[in-house]
Amino acid sequence: MPRLLDSLPELYRELLPGFFRQDVPEETKATCSNCAMCEGSAQGSVEAVDGVSRLFRPDTKCCTYFPRLPNYLVGALLSDERPELSEGRSRMEARIAARIGVTPQWVKPPAKFNFLYKNGTQFFGRAASLRCPYYAQQSGGCTIWPYREAVCSTFFCKYVAGADGRRFYMSLKTYLTLTEIQLSRWTTLQLLPDYILSGKDRPELHPSPLAVEDLDDAPPPARAYADLWKGYVGLEVDYYRECHRLVRGLDAAGLDKLLGLDGLIELKGLEAHLGTAVSSQLPRTLKFNADATVQWMPDGSVALGAYSDFDAVALPGEAYGLLVEFTGRQSVEAVRHHLREHKQADLSEDVLLELYRHRILVEV
């Protein structure tokens, strides 16, 4: 099994605590090179639920998202001279030159993108207009993959451990996001302290209405941009590289100090969620989830979904009829005994565990 660190940017390998050096199950169901959510995939994704397509476009896949990259990861990319990253470097340099979403702390999505993302519906994986600017259409890959941020490092369309796997990776995303925030604030404090001391690093709880520049995909007014960057205007690439250099000089104890109590709490949660994802236990009593989606397939099988729009369990049609016997009033063993005695049928413990992981069956 791969180590958790192996799925994260290399920059973190000497910074993150020992927990990240342990093995995690490989997410074999999320096949990025042959997208499990595109039509014709061997994974057999559910094509529609309630009339709404769940398949992704092959020229977007799940990359209908604009990552918010912390300054030190931007600097790491710009400092990496490997030929295979030349396209990613070029795209990043172009974004910096355009000055849209470019701040001392982040290279982030334009305000217009955030508005569309928050107010769109059923677009994920299907809206070409929201395709990531770092996505390589020809290869279907990512031009900045070694320096991807928290969301891109932790999203899978399907999880081997189902809902328990998703909960673990959502917890990991929270931990990595905290790391990104604190490291980018710390580096900015070293280089442009006024940005931090004036509160420009604080999140916008109530975003301002879109300005003309936002709507027209134009850079901010020169004076406003200069107020952000001070003496680094025109030297943004050098600034980001220096942020990377600062983080490279930090050790694990230094990161732990920056994350503080919040980091400790998130790490404890991560440990608990990984334990559940790795060794899910079948509850004593289960009932069929009334909110599960049901789609009958042409071959007579049935696709059942619950915890995710993107991850369904396929069962023979006759097996679906057995699930209504799980009412939560009897133990799992008692229900299985009843099925064997009165219907000459059974659902193995492995099948029941998979149904529980997908929350088709839920604990009472």
Backbone angles phi, psi at 3, to 5 degrees: -80, 155
Q: In which residue are the tokens 């470019």 written?
A: 102
Q: What is the pLDDT of residues 273-331, one digit of tens each?
A: 999 999 888 999 999 999 999 999 999 999 999 999 999 999 999 999 999 999 999 99
- Cα 169 from Cα 159, distance rounded (Å): 9
Q: Do the bridges between strand 293-296 and strand 302-305 make them parallel or antiparallel, or are there none, so unpaired?
A: antiparallel
- pLDDT for residue 207: 85
- Cα 89 from Cα 67, distance rounded (Å): 15
Q: Do the bridges between strand 312-315 and strand 135-136 make them parallel or antiparallel, or are there none, so unpaired?
A: unpaired
Bin 301: left if φ > 0, else alpha if -120 < ψ < 50, else beta: beta
Q: Among candidates 89, 67, 98, 19, which has minimal Cα distance to 244?
A: 89
DSSP-derived 3-state class of residue 210: coil
- pLDDT for residue 269: 97
DSSP-derived 3-state class of residue 87: helix
In this prediction, the residues of the chain whose per-residue pLDDT falls under 70 are 40-53
- pLDDT for residue 56: 95
- Cα 274 from Cα 20, distance rounded (Å): 11
- pLDDT for residue 107: 98
- pLDDT for residue 51: 47
Q: Please count the other Cβ atoms lying within 10 Å of the Cβ belonging to residue 283.
A: 16
Answer yes or no: are the C-beta atoms of 353 and 282 closer than 8 Å: yes
Q: Among candidates 72, 93, 90, which has minimal Cα distance to 11?
A: 72
Domain ranges of the chain: 4-278, 287-363
Q: What is the pLDDT of residues 26-35, one digit of tens each?
A: 999 999 888 9
- Cα 306 from Cα 25, distance rounded (Å): 22
- pLDDT for residue 134: 98
